[in-house]
Structure formats: structure tokens, C-alpha cells
Chains A and B, each alone.
Chain A
Amino acid sequence: MAEVKDVTVEARSAGTWAVRVTRQDESRSKDAAVIVRSERKPSLPDPVHVRLAGARAWLALAKDRVAEKEWGAAIELARKGLVELGQEYARPQVDDDTELKALAAEDQIKQGRLENAARMLAGALSTRIVCYVDLHNDTVVEVSPPVQD
């Protein structure tokens, strides 16, 4: 689970809730939210799909570091996102090769190609988030910020 866990649940339109989290990287932080469809208010401290929101926040932080060419930091942040999202994220009909991509990224690290590795791990996390949203499309209405951002 994430090192930092700042979670809130807010009512939205009828039958939907915003599960919002904050994840922190040194002095900066990122918020992410998942709009959840549920008859009952998701209960704290572990509301449904909180790990999706957490992973999305880590991805935002990782992408910031990629943009700043802080490859080592980006690698660590993407890894945190992969850990928080967990292993149950894809439909069985999906041939999920993100683990291969993550292992290839580790190989790139050994070769000193940190930029490649940072982008690959962020890409693997992004793919897994998309898979997770698809797996739970009956209860996940929206992710914010969108994964494409």
C-alpha cells in the first residue's frame, strides 16, 4: 500500500461518489479522483477503488518527473503506482504483457538507459490503469485526471 494515504469521499450526483486521494513526492503532491457508482457511501479508510485513485496520482507524479528528465525519481514513482494498483486489474480476456514491459525496463536500468526505463514503467502503469477501469466499468464512472493526460 502507498506510503501516504490521504483519502476523502464526497457525494456527487445520485448514486455516485468521488473517492479522492493525495500522493506526495518530496515537496510536491498530486490529487487524483475516481468517480464511483455505488448505492452506499464508500467507507473509509479503504473505499472501493482507492487503489485506482492512488495509482493515478502516482502516475501524475511520475509523468511530471519524466517531463523534468528526473529519470530516477520517475522510476521510483511509477513503481509505487504499480505496487498500489496491485495485481488484480485486468479482465481474463486480456493478454497482459505489462509485467514483461516492467522487466524489460529493469533490464534497461541495468544497461544505464534510465530514460527508457522511466517511460516504460510509466507506460506499464498507464496500461494497467486503463485495464483496471475496463475491468470495473460497472462501478468506475470516471478517473480524474484522465489517463491520457
Chain B
Amino acid sequence: MRTPPDQNLPLLRLPRWASRSGRESRPPAPPASGPPSGPAGPAPTPARTFTLAPQLKQGLQTAWGNSLPGGNALEQGGILVQKADHTYEWRAGVGTSGGSFAANYGDLKTGETLVATAHTHPYSAAEGGYTDVAFSGGDLANMALASRPEDSKFVQSGNTVFMVEKTQAFKDYVAAKGENVAHTAMINTWNTTFAAATGTFTERVEAAAKAVCKEYHLEYYRGSGDTLTQVDVSK
């Protein structure tokens, strides 16, 4: 069930519990206990797949296309907003650095809802030319901060799109611990996991990102084009 780009109600995704075909609807899994150091969260469920809104897909692809100007890395990104008429719109921000991106929250207008933020992870040839580089510790940890109100965050690196989404269990954990404690704990989990991981740089980054998502019950997805599939972070 793909939504035409010009329709006025393009969904960011199908309902959370629906398959891409929409024929295998099932309710969200009931919550279960989490590890002692993290929040309680839902039990593992079969992987979910959903389709990006065309505005977001195009925004991400344009951002990536502008991320290696002249062969030099320049992070790009933007925000996806839902306007008062319920349509979605991608608003590109301004890249200023190869190693950071400031979300352009100021482009959100009164009456609109912030749906997601997104940015790219480019590495020039002189930086090793890495692609498929998932979320940094900072990317994930700052989702605990009240100043980061978006529920979903996307990263595009090469052809791969990564998404992380807050769950109620994550929000409950942050509320219980406080945002600074949660932020520090998430950074520590990312750093510890990366240091212990084996494999390539990108494999170690993804291992660290998955560990944070598992520990703090963020939902983690990856894919390409307009299709993302939930990743089993327990593996």
C-alpha cells in the first residue's frame, strides 16, 4: 500500500503493527521487563517494515547528494514536518561541517508538528570513504534531551538509511533517571560496545548503535530507498 507522492495524506509509515502489504495487521507487543540498568520495554517482535513518506525519501537523497561537494565531506540534513493541513514537508537545513549537523528546528512554524530530524554521515575518500555508518553515540544519546523533541531520527550514509525511534519505555526511563544521567549512560554504552566490538569500523559502529537501542529500548531500523526494516538488536 504505497501512498502516491501527490496525495494530501502521505504517511510517514504504515501503522506500526501493519506489514507493508497491510494484510498482516497485529497489535503492538505487550511490555515486558527490561534489564536492570535500562528501562522496561517491549518484548522482541517480528521485524516490522514500513515505507518512508516520499518527501522524506527525496529529502534524504538530496541531502546525501550534497554531502560530498568537491570530494569533501559536508554533513547535510533537515526536518520532516507535518503541516496544519496534515501534509508532510521536508525542510533542508544548512550543512556547515563534515563532522556535525545542527538540526534546523527554527524552520518549524506555528501549528506544525515536528515528525523527524535527519542528517547524513559522509566520509570522503581521504577519510577512508566509509559508507553505511550508523548512529554515533551522540546521535542516540541526545534523543534523551528535552531539547530534542523529535520521536524519530534518520541517518543516511551511502545508500543505507538508518532510523531510530523513541518508545514509551525509553521515555519512561529518561523521565525516571533524568536526561543527563540517561545521556551519559547511553554514551557510555556506545563507547564500551564500540571498544569491545570486532570487525570493520562500520560494523563496530552498528554494533554500538544496536547495543544502545537494545539497552534503552529505542527501535532501530535500516534499509534503503523508501523501505526500512526493524533490526533485531538482540543479535
State the A residues within 8 Å of B (CB).
90-101, 103-104, 107-108, 111, 113, 115-116, 119-120, 123-124, 127, 130-131
Contacts and interface: CB of A to CB of B under 8 A. Distances in A.
Interface in B144-175: 145, 147-148, 153
A23 B97 CA distance: 26
A101 B127 contact: yes
A94 B130 CA distance: 22
Contact of B100 (A92, A94, A111): A94
Given A95-B117, A127-B99, 18 more contacts: A93-B102, A93-B105, A95-B77, A95-B142, A96-B100, A97-B101, A99-B138, A100-B99, A100-B121, A101-B127, A103-B194, A107-B201, A108-B127, A108-B128, A113-B128, A116-B128, A123-B99, A127-B100
Given A104-B123, A104-B201, A97 B148 contact: no
**Most interface-central of B105, B139, B145 (chain A CB within 10 A):** B139
A99 to B, nearest CB: 6
B201 A101 contact: no
A93 B127 contact: no
B103 A95 contact: yes
B136 interface: yes
B101 A94 contact: yes
A149 B205 CA distance: 32
B210 interface: no
B139 A123 contact: no
A103 B139 CA distance: 15
A97 B75 CA distance: 9
Contact of B136 (A91, A93, A99, A108): A99
A100 B136 CA distance: 6
**Most interface-central of B103, B128, B139 (chain A CB within 10 A):** B128
Given A96-B136, A97-B75, A97-B121, A104 B127 contact: yes
Nearest to B106: A93
Q: Label chain A's interface by main secondary structure.
A: helix
B99 A92 contact: no
A104 B131 CA distance: 11
A100 B137 CA distance: 8
Contacts of B103: 93-95
B77 A99 contact: no
A92 B147 contact: yes
A115 B127 CA distance: 9
Contact of A97 (B96, B136, B147): B136
**Most interface-central of B136, B137, B139, B147 (chain A CB within 10 A):** B136
A90 B141 CA distance: 13
**Most interface-central of A91, A97, A98 (chain B CB within 10 A):** A97
B138 A120 contact: no
Given A93-B105, A97-B136, A104 B130 contact: yes
**Which 8 pairs from chain A and chain B are nearest by CB?**
A98-B99, A107-B201, A127-B99, A92-B147, A96-B138, A100-B136, A101-B99, A127-B97
B98 A95 contact: no
A119 B126 contact: yes
